[in-house]
Amino acid sequence: MKKTVLVSGGAGFIGSHVTVELIGAGYEVVVADNLSNCDMTCFEGVKKITGRDDIPFEKVDFCDAAATEALFAKYKIDAVIHFAAFKAVGESVEKPVLYYKNNLGSFLNVLEAAERQGGCNVLFSSSATVYGQPEKLPVTEESPRQPATSPYGATKQMCEDILQDTVKASGGKIKGILLRYFNPIGAHPSALIGELPRGVPNNLVPFITQTAIGKRACLSIFGDDYPTPDGTCLRDYIDIVDLAKAHVYAVTRMMEGKMDEPCEIFNVGTGRPVSVMELVTAFERVNGLKLNYKIAPRRPGDVTAVWADPTRANTVLGWKAERTVEETLRSAWEWEKHLAGK
């Protein structure tokens, strides 16, 4: 009997890529999304990539407890991967109540429904943002979490704690894995799914590709006076397909009862720091184009450098990032051209 995974927020950038990999690995998937931050473009792309027209889609706002409960009652959920959350750092500073209500409320409803159905495996989509500006680099899962620098980051830390506490109290009925992503970038090689930010992109790579396609006039590089080799910030850019595969490894680990602890944490990164300028010049090189950019003032809240020590994910989860940053930047560009109908 195939196991069923509920992917909350599954019509989004990461959720859609994870759905493709889960189906490829033989899982049944239920995709649920309230479409507050995306449309059905990526879900339609998932159906094309997998050749599966029968993937259930449920339009659900996970802040609605009754709707969440009904979803769990309708399907036999063996694992839930929780992506449904708002994720714009800057917006979270302007609208903290909206972010706490949505990001905490939706996760609490999912956990309550999981408890009500007698338990299940829960994978929470966390973020390297919980590390803030680490004192020591690269960061391991034991690196201390720093005080959050935004309500968005605070909700990630709180949801991590909520899951840990829920697992502890569940008497083994709920197992949990926290995946801390670094900087997800790129798109599926088919160019049928990818990042589709609404409005002006906050993140670097979609701003780069939109500048290259002509949707944006000029990329601003936020600061070149940081204490780094070329003065621009360092990040660990993880390819979206590699990231998606890590979810399959994590869900399988829970399903097969291979965990060492009832709630485990994994950094999902490459372990390779890359600067903003390196990314921009790599994008130009692999795609054979010139990008219009300028140096602009630092962006408030940016950390100078953060990158992962992925040893635990590599050795315990058995997962390793495979795609090169060049391949990833090529896929990001192919996706942007697909969106432009080119």
Residues in the chain: 342
The count of residues interacting with ligand WQD (CB under 6 A) is 18
Q: Under 8 Å CB-to-CB from 25, ≥6 apart: which residues? A: 248, 252
From the list 60-68, 103-111, 138-146, 215-223, the region that binds ligand WQD by CB under 6 A is 215-223
Applying CB under 6 A, does 47 fall inside the site for ligand WQD?
no
Using the rule CB under 6 A, which residue among 27, 62, 72, 207 binds ligand WQD? 207
Applying CB under 6 A, among 42, 233, 251, 263 the residue interacting with ligand WQD is 233
Shortest distance, position 88 Cβ to ligand WQD, whole Å: 8
Residue 278 structure tokens: 């390196």
Task: Provide the minimum distance between the beta carbon of 248 and ligand WQD in the complex, in angstroms, as a whole number.
Answer: 20
C-beta of residue 162 within 8 angstroms of C-beta of residue 333: no
Does residue 270 interact with ligand WQD by CB under 6 A?
Answer: no
- Decide if residue 146 touches ligand WQD (CB under 6 A): no
Tell which one of 89, 113, 248, 254 touches ligand WQD (CB under 6 A).
89
Residue with tokens 């239920």: 30
183 binds ligand WQD (CB under 6 A): yes
Question: Tokens 């027209």 correspond to what residue?
Answer: 53
Residue whose CB is less far from ligand WQD, 140 or 203: 203
Question: According to CB under 6 A, which one of 146, 203, 314, 324 is a site residue for ligand WQD?
Answer: 203
**Residue 301 or 318: which CB sits closer to ligand WQD?**
301
Name which position in 235, 247, 253, 330 contacts ligand WQD (CB under 6 A).
235
> What are 71's two structure tokens?
């979803």
* Beta strands at 234-235 and 274-275: parallel, antiparallel or unpaired: antiparallel
Residue 222 touching ligand WQD (CB under 6 A): yes
**Residue 178, interface with ligand WQD (CB under 6 A)?**
no
Of 102, 162, 124, 158, give the one whose Cα is nearest residue 6: 124
The span of 2-10, 50-58, 214-222, 253-261 binding ligand WQD (CB under 6 A) equals: 214-222
Interface with ligand WQD, residue 127, by CB under 6 A:
yes
Spatial separation of the C-alpha atoms in residues 85 and 109, rounded to whole Å: 13
| Residue 226 annotated as catalytic | no
Residues engaged in binding ligand WQD (CB under 6 A): 87, 89, 127, 129, 183, 202-204, 207, 219-222, 233, 235, 276, 299, 302
Residues involved in catalysis = 152
